[in-house]
Amino acid sequence: MRYAMAIDTKKCVGCSDCVVACQTENNVPIGYCRDWVVEVTDGTYPQLEIEIRSERCNHCDNSPCVRCCPTGASHYEDGGIVLVTPNECIGCGACITSCPYDARYPHPDGYVDKCTFCIHRIKKGLEPACVSACPTKCMYFGDLDDPNSPVSEILKVRKYKTLIPEAGTGPQVYYLI
Amino acid sequence: MREEIIVSGRNNYLIDPHLHIWHWQIPLYLFLGGLAAGILFFAAFFTLMGKENKYKAAVRIAPHIVPWILVVGLFALLLDLKHKLYFWRLYTTIRLESPMSWGAWVLMLVTPLSFIWSAIHIKRIFPKWDWKFKILKDLEAFFTKQKKAIAWVMGISSVILGVYTGILFSAFNARPLWNTSILGPLFLASGLSAGAAVIMLLSRKHKERTMFARIDIGIIVVELFLIVHMFMGFLASTQVQINAAELFLGGPWTAPFWIFVVILGMIVPAFLEVLELKKFKIPVVIPATLVLFGSLMLRFLISYAGQESRWLY
Amino acid sequence: MRSRRDFIRISGLGAGGLAISASGLGVYKNLASSPPQGSELSVDTTRTPTYCEICFWKCAGWVYKNEEGKIWKVIGNDEDQHSNGRFCPRGTGGPGMYYDEDRLKTPLIRTEERGKQVFREASWEEALDYIAEKIKGIAEEHGPECTALLTHGSGGKYFGNLLKAFGSASIAAPSYAQCRGPREVAYHMTFGEGVGSPERTDIRDTKCLVLIGSHLGENMHNGQVQEMSDAIDKGASIITVDPRYSIAASKSKYWLPIKPATDIALLMAWIHVIINEEWYDKEYVEKYTYGFDQLKAHVQHMTPEWAYGITTLEPDLIRKSAKEMANAAPAVIIHPGRHVVWYGDDTQRSRAMAILNALLGSWGRRGGFYNPEKVSIPSWPHPPYPVPGRTWKDAYPDQYNLAYETLASGICDATIPTLSKACNFKAWIVNGTNLIKTIPDTEKTLQAIQELELMVVIDTMPMAITGWADVVLPECTYLERYDTIRDSTHRKPAIALRMPAAEPMYNTKPAYWMAKELANRLGLGEYFSWNTIEEMLDWQLKQVGSSLEEMQRIGVKTFDRTYDDLYFQKDQDMEFYTNTGKIELYSTALAAEGFDPMPKYTAHEEPPPGFYRLNYGRAPSHTFGRTANNALLKDLMEENTAWINPKVAGEWGIENGQYIWLENQDGIRSSFPIRARVTERIRWDSVYMVHGFGHTNKKLSRAYGKGASDSELITKVHLDPIMGGTAMRGNFVTFKFEPKEEEAAS
Ligand SMILES: Nc1nc2c(c(=O)[nH]1)N[C@H]1C(S)=C(S)[C@@H](COP(=O)(O)OP(=O)(O)OC[C@H]3O[C@@H](n4cnc5c(=O)[nH]c(N)nc54)[C@H](O)[C@@H]3O)O[C@H]1N2
Ligand SMILES: Nc1nc2c(c(=O)[nH]1)N[C@H]1C(S)=C(S)[C@@H](COP(=O)(O)OP(=O)(O)OC[C@H]3O[C@@H](n4cnc5c(=O)[nH]c(N)nc54)[C@H](O)[C@@H]3O)O[C@H]1N2
Ligand code: SF4
Ligand code: SF4
Ligand code: SF4
Ligand code: SF4
Ligand code: SF4
Ligand SMILES: [Mo]
């Protein structure tokens, strides 16, 4: 089992519903976030292009955050989901500095927090909150090992990229381009 | 024009506008760790060389401050932790891939060793010291007999500790400025240099002082060599590392780095030490303090600037 | 090269930065007492139905509570055609409105002169008695017609009934003269029917979507954005006409970067090409339309080359995009837009769009415009309403005969006494509309307010308008109340229920309760003869084959269509509600009123040297000014920015992220500074900003002073002569580097 997410930059309108949906679903404190939206504009008026990406933890295959965690609080779950166990985390910040995507943040309660791929939802057969809220339906989630999962299906037919593959982290959030 | 904006979110405290999760605590902790490593290394080294009597300050005096340095260092680390009550979690597991874990365990080893070392040499400082209880006296006798063995363990673990202070940073692939294997040797060298400086300060024998001045000059030369190589490595590497190096080559951290670390912390003290060897009268506090200052600044600047460096995407 | 980091670093300076998170923390305590970890969170927590009130798309959804019984999240109802189970960011952020600690908490009565914002707290008894007495007095002296209701939002229905029972028909919403009025009139003139809300556009199945300004994706009207995405999936092409590189433009096959205020020229050139190349739907035009020959003659000189000189759009691009539409026809939509009060000739521009749709045969066709249907919910039985002697319309005896709804701006005008106006309003009930920021030319609005003997404001937040009220009545949020049953139109008729998910916080009450209490005090109790709202809703629901119990369970009930008439049948004979019974390319009604029966391009004023056209629009995460203080949404975007083309910024030496002030052609400078966003996405002749920021009420702890207000800078209004729409895009701004003198002095 290998959970992954694919996000269609051609359909995403950058509305940030994924951000609020995550915030309410996961009670992410105000002033913090587990996901965010980046908009890149290239060109000169009127020859322009925009790429919009909703970003979050990439649940890397080879994640430096897990490697550098001194307590094992950061760990892999079934399906490759990278999680933090709050009461094993000492809040040393090593994982925060080790993540090339700045996907983690120190929760005001002391431990380090980040996207969980909404594991509490997927265990119940639901989609992650951001995926199920996105009004443009531009996010796909599922098991890469299952060729019929939404994410496998879309990656079969679309061109895609990942973020900083050269960092060697093996990111599992794919951007359809 | 390329415009790249974060439309929403990413207002995480300490992460944006740029990462700053580690403040003074970590660099101080690393400095103190490196300093302790340096002192212990020289103590172990000269013990094993059988030169205990020649280098008294190195073997018998300076190590007394190490336990306190380590305690302060560990306290700084504790202050850095945001989830302090779970501190003990560091010691429920050994994570070979995690430098933080290495550090915790090496300190677990080095700190008691440093106490033992201090204990078996306590009478050098307080000649009238009395252990009072028999068991303590027996222990002292036992450890004194095992001194060579202890020195071996201490020597090796202090090198690990010294290297660790640099590896802690260089393991973070995500911060291009840290992502160089030179940081390990550089921080080890810097720790040794700081250790040598402390020994110089505490030594009352001219011979011992000049010996350590010589050692220090050697280390500083190695450090300068490592720094040049580090930048050459960066500049020959990817755009992100070039950008990282530019933080110190024209970027916002250039002046502090070259002035405090390289000139005041290395070149000037080395020069003064050379003068000293050439029989000029230089008060030892000046080069020694400068070296300590430079060593501290190195940690601070690498820590702060490193957190600013990042991958582009 | 600048990285994204640099930009955030800049934007992290100044007021933002750390202060944000610090101030947010307090709210977090309210919002989330225990952050869920792992799998504990139960997904089956009790849920109650609602429909969203953060904008007027009215998506139906579910309110979930956490284990402690506190409101946790709102998500869409899968059965709902407005939301399809997915809310937009503003709707998802709804709980932020409920938890806002700056809310109005108890009734207030003004104690000092108007606008000074000095109030005393009052009980509901006292406040309602006060209002009833005042209103009775005004009715005795001037007649009940002199009370007007200005309303935007669900609770307005109850106040509307109250007003009608009282004897006044002057009920206005800013969603007409300040928003979609011109388009409704234009579509009535053309097809005999309006576009309505939600728009009857069949975007889901279209092959070509043409957006004239409509910035879907930033304009987050949920269903449309969802369907635009579906259409992209199905390979539809999008054509966007917008002087700004909008998000929609970035998804488009053709983006036409038109010179602002010249759209009619482009539209006429398209009509010219489509007629002259014979790309129009001949059968459809023949069978259903009136005035084709006049139109053909009318557009003969309106060639793409002619339009090029006006719009700066290459003739080839005009032709190619026309061909694209024709190829897709009839599954093509020239989107009618929604906020269409731009330059004063807006009904005519909307007419040109309607005509284009008619030529391409998209009205009544799959992928074009469908025929919506609704469930008619009967009103609770009540005595007949008295017939008012006068209405706002009497203030305009010979004007705006084609306006089918009341003009909010018209009520303003009619409140300021002049010899020529026969009806002067003495009392306003203002429900859920922030008139100060909503109706352009604030000075005039304030002048009208100063003429009133009574202004009651029903709101949830201490917005600018509440500061001018005589009595402020705090309504509970939509998450805490029952409301009118949503019966808006769609492909299939459907109804949705809103019920309270929590008890009202503070001393707040729902609109229906206030209206009923006022009715009792005004001796109009028989119009509100239900005992409880549940009783009334249950009765209403039973009339259409449901019940309150059922709706509480399912939230949304969808019915089958009465006839299979979502689209025209092949060769169906159609009678349109126009004078000729046909789709009028040539409008007989406009001709009769003395207006151009077919649209013409007229030039509009251009910005003087050193000035730039003030363009404004929506940000996906906010609704007008109402969400600026919502902690969840403020977190996404806490202030607006002034978009400035890099060339212009260079000339002025303006740096990205720098705070500047905007000053308009009448010397009005923004109260607050606004951050410059130097971006290629805007033309060099315009400045763009998102509407809804620059709040002046200090009681809005998060929104006060953040960003600048476009409303403030819109002091020149071009009235649409046909229906009285208040066009707002004819204002020009320049840059200033310090605040207004009074500001600086104080
Ligand atoms: N997120 C969010 N969504 C909303 C709302 C909200 O408050 N927030 N409000 C809702 C309401 S009530 C309405 S009425 C709608 C309004 O939304 P729309 O109907 O889409 O409003 P417009 O005024 O057409 O959109 C503004 C766009 O017009 C462009 N524009 C400006 N001048 C010109 C011009 O001369 N020609 C052309 N072709 N384009 C021009 C601007 O650059 C901008 O992209 O949005 C609705 N959706
Ligand atoms: N300058 C400028 N003016 C504009 C526009 C623009 O883009 N720029 N857009 C125009 C358009 S398209 C429109 S539709 C109008 C919209 O105009 P309005 O509907 O007036 O919009 P808001 O500014 O959101 O004001 C809504 C008010 O309702 C309150 N409110 C929110 N929820 C509730 C509730 O549940 N109950 C009650 N009683 N009150 C509530 C809010 O606190 C706020 O004070 O503005 C128009 N005016
Ligand atoms: S919710 Fe969907 S469309 Fe909106 S920003 Fe997120 S990914 Fe993009
Ligand atoms: S994105 Fe960052 S936090 Fe997530 S798994 Fe990869 S390295 Fe770890
Ligand atoms: S902050 Fe927590 S999760 Fe991160 S490395 Fe330290 S202990 Fe592990
Ligand atoms: S998967 Fe869940 S935790 Fe991750 S960003 Fe989406 S909503 Fe947040
Ligand atoms: S479009 Fe968004 S704000 Fe409007 S009603 Fe729907 S969910 Fe609410
Ligand atoms: Mo509107």
Which range among C104-118, C340-354, C456-470 shows the weakest confidence by mean pLDDT?
C104-118
DSSP codes joined into one string, chain A: --EEEEEETTT-----HHHHHHHHHTTPPTT--S-EEEEEEEEETTEEEEEEEEE-----TT-HHHHH-SSS-EEEPGGG-EEE-GGG-----HHHHH-TT---EE-TTSSEE---TTHHHHTTTPPPHHHHH-TT--EEEEETTSTTSHHHHHHHHS-EE-S-GGG-----EEEE-
User: Which positions 7-26 of A are in contact with C (Cβ < 8 Å)?
Assistant: 10-11, 13-17, 19-21, 23-26
CA distance B125 to B130: 12
Average pLDDT over residues A101-129: 95
Kindly indicate the confidence band of residue C397, based on its pLDDT and cuts at 50, 70 and 90.
Answer: confident
| Helix (H), strand (E) at residue C212 | strand C208-212
Atom of ligand 4 nearest to the CA of A56: 1
Q: How confident is the model at residue B130 (pLDDT cuts 50, 70, 90)?
A: confident
* CATH dotted code for C192-372+575-592: 3.40.228.10
> Which residue type occupies B84?
K
CB contact under 8 A, B173 and A40: no
Average per-residue pLDDT for chain A: 95
The confidence score (pLDDT) of residue C745 equals: 53
Give me the DSSP letters along C724-739: --EE----EEEEESS-
> C-alpha angle with apex C83: B7 to C50, nearest 5 degrees?
105
Cβ separation C24–A29 shorter than 8 A? yes
Q: Supply the pLDDT for residue B10.
A: 66
Say what the pLDDT of residue C32 is: 37
DSSP-derived 3-state class of residue C368: coil
Where does residue A32 rank: exposed (0-12), middle (13-18), buried (19+ CB within 10 A)? buried
Q: Which pair of structure tokens corresponds to residue C216? A: 């879907």
Which residue type sits at A129?
A: A
Please tell me if residue C23 touches chain B, with a CB cutoff of 8 Å.
no
Subunits with at least 3 CB pairs below 8 A relative to chain A? B, C
Does pLDDT of A3 surpass 70?
A: yes
Residues A5, A163 contacting (CB under 8 angstroms) = no
What is the Cα–Cα distance from B49 to C667, expressed in whole angstroms?
86
Q: C253 with C238: CB under 8 angstroms?
A: yes
Q: What is the mean pLDDT of residues A145-172?
A: 95
Banded pLDDT at C423 (limits 50, 70, 90): low
In chain B, what residues touch A112 (CB-CB under 8 Å)?
Answer: 82
Contacts of C101 (CB under 8 A, 6+ apart): C26, C27, C30, C701
Measured distance CA(B26)–CA(B303) in Å, rounded: 8
> Given the CA of residue A169, which atom of ligand 4 is nearest to it?
6
Determine which residue's CA is closest to atom 29 belonging to ligand 2. Answer: C432
- What are residue C318's phi and psi, to 5 degrees? -65, -45
Task: Give the pLDDT confidence of C441-489 residue by residue, as tens digits.
Answer: 999 999 999 999 999 999 999 999 999 999 999 999 999 999 999 999 9
Shortest distance, CA A28 to any CA of chain C (angstroms): 7
Distances in whole angstroms, Cα of residue B78 to Cα of each of B83, B85, B297, B302: 9, 10, 21, 21
For residue B117, pLDDT over 50 is answered with yes
CA distance readout (Å), C674 to B1, C641, C664:
22, 6, 14
Q: Where are the domains of chain C?
A: 1-99+478-509+530-567, 109-170+388-475+510-529, 192-372+575-592, 612-745
Q: What is the rounded CA–CA span in Å between residue A165 and residue A175?
A: 12
Which residue in chain C has the smallest CA separation from A33?
A: C635
Record: contact B2-A32, CB cut-off 8 A:
no
Instruction: Give the mutation target among A3, A53, A99 for probing the ligand 4 site: most ligand atoms within 8 A of CB.
Output: A99
Integer Cα distance of B294 and C151 in angstroms: 69
Architecture per CATH, domain C612-745, reads as: Beta Barrel (2.40)
The encoded tokens of residue C547 equal: 């019940």
Residue with tokens 């097809």: C191
Nearest to C225 among A41, A50, A136 (CB): A136
User: Does B17 contact C679 at a Cβ distance shorter than 8 Å?
Assistant: no
Over residues C120-160, the pLDDT tens digits come to 999 999 999 999 999 999 999 999 999 999 999 898 999 99
Per-residue pLDDT, C93 = 97
What is d(CA C309, CA C513) in angstroms, rounded to the nearest whole number? Answer: 59
Mutate to test the interface with B, among C1, C2, C3, C5 (most CBs of B within 10 A): C5
pLDDT given at position C570: 86
Residue B277 sits at the vertex; the CA angle it makes with B274 and B282, to the nearest 5 degrees, is 80
Query: pLDDT by residue (tens digit) across C645-692?
Result: 999 999 999 999 999 999 999 999 999 999 999 999 999 999 999 999
The pLDDT, as a whole number, for residue C19 is 33
Q: Measuring CA to CA, which residue among C624, C627, C632 is closest to residue C703?
A: C627
Assess if CATH 3.30.450.20 describes domain C1-99+478-509+530-567.
no
The mean pLDDT of C597-626, rounded to a whole number, is 97
**The CATH number of the domain covering residues in A3-176:** 3.30.70.20
Residue C241: predicted pLDDT:
98
Instruction: Please enumerate in sequence order all residues whose Cβ is within 8 A of that of C662, keeping only pairs 6 or more positions apart, or say none.
Output: C614, C642, C669, C670, C674, C687, C689, C708, C713, C733, C734, C735, C736
Domain ranges (residues) in chain A: 3-176
* Ligand 1 atom nearest C180 alpha carbon: 14
- How large is the ipTM? 0.92
Place of tokens 């049953």: C485
pLDDT above 50 (res C43): no
Share of chain C above pLDDT 90, in %: 87
Chain B residues inside the 8 Å CB shell of C635: 8-9, 11
Of the candidates B3, B15, B172, the beta carbon closest to that of A41 is on B3
Measured by CA distance, the residue closest to atom 5 of ligand 7 is: C58
pLDDT at C15: 34
* Contact residues, chain C, for B83 at CB < 8 Å: none
> Which two structure tokens, joined as six digits, stand for C42?
């139960």
CA distance A46 to chain B (A): 12
**Hey, is B71 helix, strand or coil?**
helix
Nearest Cα residue to atom 2 of ligand 6: A118
Give the residue from C370, C369, C371, C373 showing the smallest Cα distance to C493: C373
pTM of the model: 0.92
DSSP H or E segment with residue C490: none
Residues of C in contact with B312 (CB under 8 A): 3
- CATH class of the domain at C109-170+388-475+510-529: alpha beta
Tell which wins on pLDDT, C29 or A8: A8
Mean pLDDT of B68-97: 92
Mean predicted confidence (pLDDT) in C163-180 = 95
Given a contact cutoff of 8 angstroms between Cβ atoms, the answer to whether C62 and C163 are in contact is no
By most ligand atoms within 8 Å of CB, the mutation choice from C481, C614, C626, C714 for ligand 2 is: C626
pLDDT tens-digit readout, B156-211 = 999 999 999 888 898 888 899 998 999 999 999 999 999 999 999 999 888 899 99
pLDDT at C744: 54
CATH superfamily of B25-308: Formate dehydrogenase/DMSO reductase domain (1.20.1630.10)
Question: Which residues 56-85 on chain A approach chain C with CB closer than 8 angstroms?
Answer: 83, 85
pLDDT value for C340: 97
Is the separation of the CB atoms in C601 and C349 below 8 Å?
Answer: no
Peptide bond into C95 cis (omega under 30): no
Ligand 6 atom closest to the Cα of residue A5 is 1
How far is it, in rounded angstroms, from Cα B151 to Cα C321?
84
Q: CB of A82 closer than 6 A to ligand 4? A: yes
> What are the pLDDT digits (tens) for B205-235?
888 999 999 999 999 999 999 999 999 999 9
Q: Collect all residues of chain B within an 8 Å Cβ-Cβ radius of residue A70.
A: 90, 93, 95, 98, 100-101, 103-104
Which residue has 């002048």 as its token pair?
C447
Give chain A positions within 8 Å (CB) of B8: 16, 19, 36-37
Nearest CA to ligand 1 atom 39: C213
Name the residue facing B312 among C3, C8, C680 (closest C-beta): C3
Average pLDDT of the residues of chain C: 92
Q: Report DSSP letters for C682-727, one per residue.
A: S-TTEEEEESS--B--TT-TTTBT-S--HHHH----EE-TTT--EE
From the list A20, A44, A120, the residue facing C39 with the nearest CB is A120
In whole angstroms, what is the distance from residue C449 CA to residue C435 CA?
10
State the distance from the centre of ligand 3 to the C-alpha of A11, rounded, in angstroms: 8
Q: What is the pLDDT of residues C563-587, one digit of tens each?
A: 989 999 988 899 999 999 999 999 9
Q: Whose CA is nearest to atom 7 of ligand 7?
A: C91
SS3 B194: helix
Distance C90 CA to ligand 7 centre (A): 6
Parse chain B into domains and list their residue ranges.
25-308
> Per DSSP, what are the bridge partners of residue C237?
C208
Q: Residue C743 has what pLDDT?
A: 55
B2/C679 touch (CB, cutoff 8 Å), yes or no: no
Nearest CA to ligand 7 atom 6: C59
Find the C97 Cα to ligand 5 centroid distance in Å.
35
Secondary structure of C233-267 in HEC code, one letter for each residue: HCCCEEEEECCCCCHHHHCCCEEECCCCCCHHHHH
Closest CB from A16, A28, A31 relative to C25: A31
Q: Hey, which of B67-76, B111-120, C351-360, C420-429 has the most confident mean pLDDT?
A: C351-360
As a three-state string, the secondary structure of C509-560 is: ECHHHHHHHHHHHCCCHHHHCCCCHHHHHHHHHHHCCCCHHHHHHHCEEECC
Q: Are B194 and B35 in contact (CB under 8 A)?
A: yes
What is the C-alpha end-to-end distance of chain C, expressed in Å? 41
Which residue stretches of chain B are H helix? 25-48, 56, 66-80, 99-120, 134-145, 147-170, 183-202, 206-235, 239-246, 254-255, 268-277, 285-308
Residue B130 neighbours by CB under 8 Å, 6+ apart: none
**Alpha-carbon distance values, B256 to B222, B245, B304 (Å):** 21, 14, 12
Rounded Cα gap, residues B197 and B203, in angstroms: 10
Contact present, B23 and B299 (Cβ < 8 Å): no
Judge whether residue C504 has pLDDT over 80: yes
**Count of other CB atoms within 10 angstroms of residue C69:** 11
Q: Is A128 in the pocket of ligand 6 (CB under 6 A)?
A: yes
Q: Where does residue A59 rank: exposed (0-12), middle (13-18), buried (19+ CB within 10 A)?
A: buried
CB B157 within 8 A of CB B113: yes
Give the per-residue pLDDT at C742: 66
